Structure 1
Amino acid sequence: MLNPQWLRTFVMLSREGTFTRAAECLDLTQAAVSQHVQRLEAQLGPLLIRRPRRVELTPAGDALLIYCAELLAADQRLHQRLSAKDDEHGEISLISPGSIGLALYPHILDWQQVYPGLSVRHRFAPDSEVLSAVLENRFELGLVTLRPDDRRLRVSLFAEEPLELVAPAGAGVNDWSDLERLGFMDHPDGQAMAGRLLSRYFPDAPGVGSLSVSGYTNQITLILESVARGIGFTVIPRYARLAFARPEAIQVIESGARVVDTLWLLHRAEWALSARAERLLEHLRQNIL
């Protein structure tokens, strides 16, 4: 373990450029600054090139400076996590599928404008990645569509989200032949979602696998752009459709049959949620549900 005081001295020296200025900033003697650097170099090798006007970092010195920055960031994260009762400062981390993420993000930004001391780290990911991220404590909150059975997790109902058949505005979609004519705009969950919904809408049809594929994208924000331009139809969760910027260019094809996904909220069961996470969830539920 490297001495924290030596590291602080090294960071200040790299910032100020001379032993004299570093010593003044740290309220140390120049000899003490030199001694700290020498002790680091005894363990790590040459860290500085001593120039007449300013020191220059060696590659090892650059690596040590990055290490010091990582230590500082880790220290800040630790203090944020230990300040769980503070609901107006610190970090909240949320990982969710893309569709619900598109719907949540504007409300998260609204909330951060009210509480500028809060930082929200939000990642879009499939169910499997959400589950592992929460279990490994890389994210405090997670949303999934399949309810997990793991004693380490506390699971609660967050929202319901219907699947929707979306076609270009003005396109006539009355039977299976109309879908064949349009072609299917596929995405990572497209075949599974379309299979579930279309089997309800058209129970006697041969299935989504028989349809021609008009395109594919893994960017959830771009799926409906293709549909809006008349390049096929798709099946997508409602929140993704609601987030689309040009609703006038698409239409939802309704039917009596519905397929609804349940969104489950996850967090580790062994410890309570931070007050700031509880407050964010309350805000999101009021605006999403």
Structure 2
Amino acid sequence: MINTAWLRTFCTLVEVGHFTRTAERLHMTQSGVSQHVRKLEEQLGTELLVRQGKQFSLSGAGERLYTEAQGILFALSNLEQTVGEDPPFAGSVRIMSPGSVGLKLYPHLLALQSKHPKLVIDYRFAPNPDVENAIAKSIVDLGFMTSKSTLSEVSCTPVAQESLLLVTPATVEEPDWDTLMALGFIDHPDGSHHASLLLGANYPEFQHSNLFPRKGFSNQIGLILEPVSMGLGFTVLPAHAVEAFEKSEHIKAHPLANPVSETLYLCVPRHRALQARMKTVIAEAKRGL
């Protein structure tokens, strides 16, 4: 394989036409320039320069090498520049979070992309364990979780709090225990966990969400409140999911005596440096939260 340093020296010499001035341009000694050319000739097994005292001209092989080398060196220069660039508003950023957080953040990040079309937002909704594994395996660049990771490959920083809300049909005035038992529970992937946190802190009778008649289940964050809005049951959801529901007039979120919130963590691969575009997205996400 041709040594690119020798090749660059050779092409500069051809363009400048003088060993001393080539050495000055490349911040080398004149003997260093001569040595690079000689090593290149030895590697290729052919004479590249026809020397006449202090003057020289190109041999046929030298002319062919110079013609081909210009494109190669130009491509290498572009490659160096591209690899070295770290634009804050261009490139893809892969993000993953639970659905409630995504409902809040995704519109903010799309607005950011609208301002900077070269920035590409790749957003996936997933439960905490999937987010954690994706970050650990560098499948995504950053994630948000409502529990702190236990994996050594994942670094987590608390960035926000999200309230858990008891949501019933709009017709319910006072969500006492008997009312909730009569309504029944609309479950979802985090339903038992959320109910344990919020209802356990506010209802002495609560032991487990299984106590309630199960009136439905959905794993689509945007649809969990549909059966609630139709009077089919109640549920417990993070505030962002409740705020995003379009039929807000058909549901009611009830303030309870003992509010409960989940900590939201920003999670990134521990041993990977954050690129400028990722820092841009993180800053916008923090503003959105």
1:84/1:120 CA distance change after superposition, 3 Å: farther
1:237 equivalent in alignment to 2:238? yes
- Structure 2: state its 5+ residue gaps: 1-78
**What letter is aligned with 1:119?**
V
1:231/1:83 CA distance change after superposition, 3 Å: farther
Report what 2:136 is aligned to.
135
In structure 1, how many angstroms separate the alpha carbons of the residues matched to 2:124 and 2:180?
A: 33
SS of equivalent residue, structure 1 residue 113: helix
CA contact (8 A) 2:157 2:265 kept: yes
In structure 2, how many angstroms separate the alpha carbons of the residues matched to 1:247 and 1:172?
A: 15
SS of equivalent residue, structure 2 residue 133: helix
SS of equivalent residue, structure 1 residue 220: coil
- In the TM superposition, what are the counterparts of 1:1-289 in structure 2 within 5 Å? 82=83, 85-205=86-206, 207-288=208-289
Aligned residues: percent identity? 36
**What letter is aligned with 1:275?**
A
Residue 205 of structure 1: how far off its partner (Å): 4.2
CA contact (8 A) 2:136 2:151 kept: no
CA contact (8 A) 2:192 2:208 kept: no
CA contact (8 A) 2:167 2:252 kept: yes
* Aligned Cα root-mean-square deviation (Å): 2.0
Q: Which moved more, 1:237-246 or 1:169-178?
A: 169-178
**What letter is aligned with 1:190?**
G
Which protein shows a greater Rg? 2
1:82/1:122 CA distance change after superposition, 3 Å: farther
In structure 1, how many angstroms separate the alpha carbons of the residues matched to 2:140 and 2:163?
A: 26
CA deviation digits over 1:116-142, x for unaligned, max 9? 011111101111111111111110101
1:86/1:180 CA distance change after superposition, 3 Å: same
Residue 247 of structure 1: how far off its partner (Å): 1.4
- Structure 1: state its 5+ residue gaps: 1-77
Residue 280 of structure 1: how far off its partner (Å): 1.3
**What letter is aligned with 1:264?**
Y
In structure 2, how many angstroms separate the alpha carbons of the residues matched to 1:169 and 1:112?
A: 37
SS of equivalent residue, structure 2 residue 96: strand
In structure 2, how many angstroms separate the alpha carbons of the residues matched to 1:218 and 1:132?
A: 20
In structure 1, how many angstroms separate the alpha carbons of the residues matched to 2:246 and 2:193?
A: 25
In structure 1, how many angstroms separate the alpha carbons of the residues matched to 2:140 and 2:133?
A: 9
CA contact (8 A) 1:84 1:274 kept: no
Give the number of equivalent residue pairs: 210
1:154/1:247 CA distance change after superposition, 3 Å: same
CA deviation digits over 1:17-36, x for unaligned, max 9? xxxxxxxxxxxxxxxxxxxx
Residue 207 of structure 1: how far off its partner (Å): 4.1
SS of equivalent residue, structure 1 residue 166: strand
Residue 143 of structure 1: how far off its partner (Å): 1.1
In structure 2, how many angstroms separate the alpha carbons of the residues matched to 1:253 and 1:82?
A: 53
**What letter is aligned with 2:176?**
D
CA contact (8 A) 2:195 2:236 kept: yes
1:261/1:141 CA distance change after superposition, 3 Å: same
